[in-house]
């Protein structure tokens, strides 16, 4: 008899801090490896089980969002990423570009 063993997995935690006024009532869509995996609102954390290894994370809202962030998810472990509005209230260029409206960074 052959038994199936699932590939090792880990957790990807996406955190969106509380504060600020931009996108106050809107959720950011979280994509992992190009696939929509959930949404995160202000002050929320989204925890996803993902295959261990190298992953690409992106946040988006409407037609714009963040650049992809490469992360390495350890088997049985977790990696945390923070998503925030990109730029500041006085910078208009981030609205006009597809990948600078949101910022992603790995939290160490």
pLDDT in tens, 60-106: 999 899 999 999 999 999 999 999 998 765 555 545 555 688 999 99
Q: Is the pLDDT of residue 44 over 80?
A: yes
> What's the pTM value of the predicted model, to 2 decimals?
0.85
Q: Please tell me the distance from the alpha carbon of residue 108 to that of residue 98, in angstroms, as a whole number.
A: 27
Q: Please tell me the distance from the alpha carbon of residue 93 to that of residue 80, in angstroms, as a whole number.
A: 28
Q: Which pLDDT score, from 0 to 100, does residue 98 have?
A: 59
Q: Which residue shows structure tokens 């992603």? A: 104
List domains and CATH numbers for the chain: 9-90 (2.60.40.10)
Please report, rounded to a whole number, the percentage of residues in the chain having pLDDT higher than 70.
88
Q: Is the pLDDT of residue 25 over 70?
A: yes
What's the DSSP call for residue 100?
Answer: S
What's the DSSP call for residue 14?
Answer: E
**CA angle (78, 18, 53) in 5-degree steps:** 20
């Amino acid at each position: 008899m052959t038994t199936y063993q699932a590939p090792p997995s880990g957790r990807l935690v996406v955190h969106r801090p509380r504060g600020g006024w931009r996108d106050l009532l809107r959720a950011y869509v979280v994509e992992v490896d190009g696939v929509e995996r959930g949404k995160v609102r202000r002050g929320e954390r989204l925890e996803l089980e993902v295959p261990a290894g190298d992953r690409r994370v992106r946040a988006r809202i409407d037609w714009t969002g963040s650049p992809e962030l490469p992360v390495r998810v350890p088997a049985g472990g977790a990696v945390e990423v923070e998503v925030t509005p990109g730029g500041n209230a006085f910078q208009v260029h981030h609205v006009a570009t597809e990948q600078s409206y949101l910022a992603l960074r790995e939290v160490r």
